[in-house]
Amino acid sequence: MASRTVRKIGIIMNGVTGRMGTNQHLKRSILQIIRQGGLKLGENEILWPDPLLVGRNPEKLRALADECELQNWTTNLNEALANPDYPVYFDAQTTQLRYEAVKAAIAAGKHIYCEKPAAEKAAEARELYELAGKAGVKHGVVQDKLWLPGLQKLRLLKESGFFGKVLAIRGEFGYWVFSGEHRAPQRPSWNYRKEEGGGILLDMLPHWHYLLEDLFGRVTSVSCVASTLIEKRWDESHAPYRCTAEDTAFATFELEDGVFAHFNSSWVVRVRRDDLLTIQVDGTQGTAVAGLRHCFVQPHTTTPRPVWNPDIDNPVDFFDGWTRVPDDHVWENAFKRQWELFLLHVAADERFPWDLSSGARGIELTEAATESWRRRCWIPLTQDNR
């Protein structure tokens, strides 16, 4: 058997000391690709990620590099961008810092992969897409939920024709995020400050956009209301602060084929459902309810026939009559799977449609939803936005 050639691909990983950057992107994605022996390129070549960690805190970077048994890290982004051995730039910084850094990376000729949202404003995100096109660099935006096992099963059901005609889509997302007064919060304080890029609209609506666009069709209009239900929280040093960003949103999306999708998003809701995110798709021939990992179906032929009678206990157990879609596939980490696809896109020109344009459309939808909330009306998306 012929020996395989190892082809290194240098990746500048900026903002990797944050929670998502450390756990999902470095430890569970790039390091796992390395530990599995790289990515196969043809019969005799292996693509091998070579990360360069970038951040602002040298102590955190050194500790993370030591923990992950990596040698290369720096606090000098400009120096990293000037290094020709690292053709890929990845950004997992806070949203406020992303636009300028990605713009600089494009100017340096780097291929771009970044967390969503790609920028705070749609105009900035669209500019990044146009600059990347002019520079001739490849680009992508993280859209991890598309590779969650539950959503992959939902995709298989849709492609198999299980639903018949899709009638409606309902999404429930959220959990109780503690205020920090008596119990530590699960999210950073900047999430609740609009001036620092916080707010559930900018955080979650880009997710709902790419899920709907990729699985069911483009969004043509949106109606949304949001609110800041908890107005005071305590930060990482236990100092109280006023919340200036919304923590709850109720959004209805009209899709290009006339189907309506409604998503509730909240950081102030206690969970009594199958998962932190559930998506229900109703169709003429059946219904599916997908969570992060599992999916349950009820076809038309086994749907119960309830009768409204509030004077007696309902004889139908509505949790019966559902079948769990089997786990007949080994589902890898969703972030890792998209990383693999992006690296193969860069190295072997394989298809990768989840680009900066898609990321920009998610922010455009978020801005339309925000305008809908302000004006209390439906807001259409322009043909360019769709």
Question: Which CATH number covers residue 253?
Answer: 3.30.360.10
Contact (Cβ atoms closer than 8 angstroms) between residue 211 and residue 147: no
Residue 363 scores a pLDDT above 60: yes
Last residue of a domain, one of 93, 128, 144: 144
Q: How far apart are CA 236 and CA 93, in angstroms?
A: 18
3 state SS of 90: strand
Compute how many other C-beta atoms are within 10 angstroms of the C-beta atom of residue 319: 8
Concatenated DSSP letters of 229-264: ---EEE-TTS-EEE--S--EEEEEEEETTS-EEEEE
Last residue of a domain, one of 144, 161, 186: 144
Q: How far apart are CA 291 and CA 271, in angstroms?
A: 13
* 117 and 165 inside one domain: no
Phi, psi (deg, nearest 5) at residue 18: -75, 170
- pLDDT for 340-358, tens place per residue? 999 999 999 999 999 999 9
Q: Estimate to the nearest angstrom the gap between the alpha carbon of 41 and the chain centroid.
A: 27
Residue 386 scores a pLDDT above 80: no
Phi, psi (deg, nearest 5) at residue 194: -60, -35
Q: How far apart are CA 104 and CA 81, in angstroms?
A: 8
3 state SS of 276: coil
3 state SS of 183: coil
Q: How far apart are CA 346 and CA 141, in angstroms?
A: 13
Assigned domain for 347 exists: no
Mean pLDDT of 60-79: 96
The per-residue pLDDT for 2 is 57
State pTM to two decimals: 0.92
- pLDDT for 260-300, tens place per residue? 999 999 999 999 999 999 999 999 999 999 999 999 999 99
* 304 and 163 inside one domain: yes
Domain tally, the chain: 2
Contact (Cβ atoms closer than 8 angstroms) between residue 209 and residue 362: yes
The per-residue pLDDT for 272 is 95
The per-residue pLDDT for 224 is 98
Assigned domain for 238 exists: yes
Residue 191 scores a pLDDT above 70: yes
Mean pLDDT of 98-124: 97
Q: Estimate to the nearest angstrom the gap between the alpha carbon of 59 and the chain centroid.
A: 29
The per-residue pLDDT for 384 is 52
Residue 1 scores a pLDDT above 80: no
The per-residue pLDDT for 62 is 96
Residue 11 scores a pLDDT above 60: yes
Which residues form the domain of 90? 5-144
Length of the chain, in residues: 386
Residue 383 scores a pLDDT above 60: no
CATH number reported for the structural domain that contains residue 109 in this entry: 3.40.50.720
Contact (Cβ atoms closer than 8 angstroms) between residue 128 and residue 356: yes
CA distances to 218, 364, 386 from 381, rounded to whole Å, are: 10, 8, 6
Percentage above 70 pLDDT, the chain? 98
- pLDDT for 132-157, tens place per residue? 999 999 999 999 999 999 999 999 99
* 136 and 184 inside one domain: no
The per-residue pLDDT for 55 is 95
pLDDT classification of 370: cutoffs 50, 70, 90: very high
Q: How far apart are CA 101 and CA 107, in angstroms?
A: 10
- pLDDT for 81-105, tens place per residue? 999 999 999 999 999 999 999 999 9
Residue 65 scores a pLDDT above 50: yes
Mean pLDDT of 325-334: 91
